[in-house]
Amino acid sequence: MRRALGTVAVALTLIGSTPLPAQDDATEREVERYRQMLKGDPWSNPGLLDADRGEALWKERRGPKNASLEQCDLGKGPGKVEGAFAELPRYFRDADRVMDLETRLVWCLERLQGFARADIIKRPYSKANQAGSELEALATYVANKSNGLKFAPQLEHPKAREALAVGEALFFRRQGPMDFSCSTCHAESGKRIRLQGLPFLGKPEAARKVIGEWPAYRVSQGTVMTMQHRIADCYWQMRLPLIDYGSPVTVALTMFLVNQAKGGDISAPQIKR
Ligand code: HEC
């Protein structure tokens, strides 16, 4: 009941939120000031600890095969981490499907190190105030190695273009008990739920500003959060069942978001509220 009321409140907030009244502008300015203070000293970003931990995990010989991930092919050839994230998701011939960063990491953990998939994805997302999971740390490390680059989606393969088309359709598809689509919350400027700005992800200028910030360190959670987790959380907000880790749905949506953000800077892990 409480949750239902909460959802009604969300829906009402959405209806009433554009354009923002002057008082809301002041609030938004203060929230922005808080974000800038967090970003002011990049070395105070706790997400970098996860990037470091991810690098150590990448290089450590582990798993039944006692191998490191240094031969993992993230799309630019075995062992090449620099710049790989800027071109993900992409089509991988060995898997004959499109994979995003996290799906590919699971693939390498299975194939190179011999871990069982069920064990790898047992705890894919950390909860509030837990240390980041191994997958989160690895994803943060790899994404961080594309910092300063721009998203360059690889759409030559038909399956990559198909993922993009599916992602776009999913973004606008209304579904679930609330009949929400992603675009219900993310296809207008100036929308906000409580203190959280809702970026207009349907608009490339807005997508370019935020998509390259993920994986991000979330102050409210005290942990890093990956794009798969972000999308899973938004689906949860739409009252849909928890989506499978590495589902083609999250991969397709990520392809759509990255294509929207094409040419946008990567600055992961960024700090989010
Ligand atoms: C009920 C409203 C709602 C719906 C529907 C929704 N989201 Fe969100 N989304 C949010 C909120 C709220 C945030 C910000 C959370 C925060 O700041 O902690 C957010 C944040 C995001 C972000 C991060 C933006 C940033 O600032 O970096 C992405 C990406 C995103 N959503 C994608 C999606 C996708 C893809 C879908 C559809 C599967 C979707 N959202 C559906 C409410 C929604």
Query: Under a CB-based contact definition with an 8 Å cutoff, are residues 228 and 106 in contact?
Result: no
The mean pLDDT of the chain is 87
CB 108 within 8 A of CB 69: yes
Residue 66 makes CB contacts below 8 A (sequence gap 6+) with: 113
Residues 6+ apart with CB under 8 A from 253: 167, 170, 171, 182, 231
Backbone angles phi, psi at 236, to 5 degrees: -60, -40
pLDDT band at 1 (very low <50, low <70, confident <90, very high): very low
What's the burial of 177, exposed, middle or buried (CB within 10 Å: 0-12/13-18/19+)?
exposed
CA distances from 265 to 108, 164, 201, 207, 238 (A): 26, 20, 15, 10, 29
pLDDT at 8 over 80: no
**pLDDT at residue 205 is higher than 60:** yes
**pLDDT over 70 (residue 30):** yes
d(CA 190, CA 11): 15
Inform me whether the pLDDT recorded for 230 exceeds 50.
yes
Atom 41 in ligand 1: which residue has the minimum CA distance?
Answer: 182
Nearest residue to 189 via CA among 209, 165, 213, 162:
209
Top mutation candidate among 12, 183, 186, 239 for ligand 1, by most atoms within 8 Å of CB: 186
Lowest-pLDDT range, 11-25, 97-111, 258-272? 11-25
Among 197, 199, 174, CA closest to 188: 199
pLDDT in tens, 66-124: 999 999 999 999 999 999 999 999 999 999 999 999 999 999 999 999 999 999 999 88
In the predicted model, is pLDDT for residue 15 greater than 70? Answer: no
End-to-end CA distance of the chain: 28
pLDDT tier, 20 (very low <50, low <70, confident <90, very high otherwise): very low
CA atoms of 98 and 88, how far apart (whole Å): 9
Round to whole Å and give the CA distance between 213 and 227: 10
Q: Is the pLDDT of residue 5 over 50?
A: no
Ligand 1 pocket (Cβ < 6 Å) reads 10, 180, 182, 184-186, 193, 196, 198-199, 201, 210, 213, 230-231, 234-235, 237-238, 253, 257, 273
Q: Choose from 28-42, 191-205, 207-221 the range with maximum mean pLDDT.
A: 207-221
- pLDDT given for residue 19 in this prediction: 46
- 211 contacts 180 by C-beta, under 8 angstroms: no
pLDDT of residue 231: 96
Are 141 and 51 within 8 A, CB to CB? yes
Residue 256 Cα: closest atom of ligand 1: 35
Locate 7 and state its tokens: 């959802």
Rounded CA separation 260/23 (Å): 31
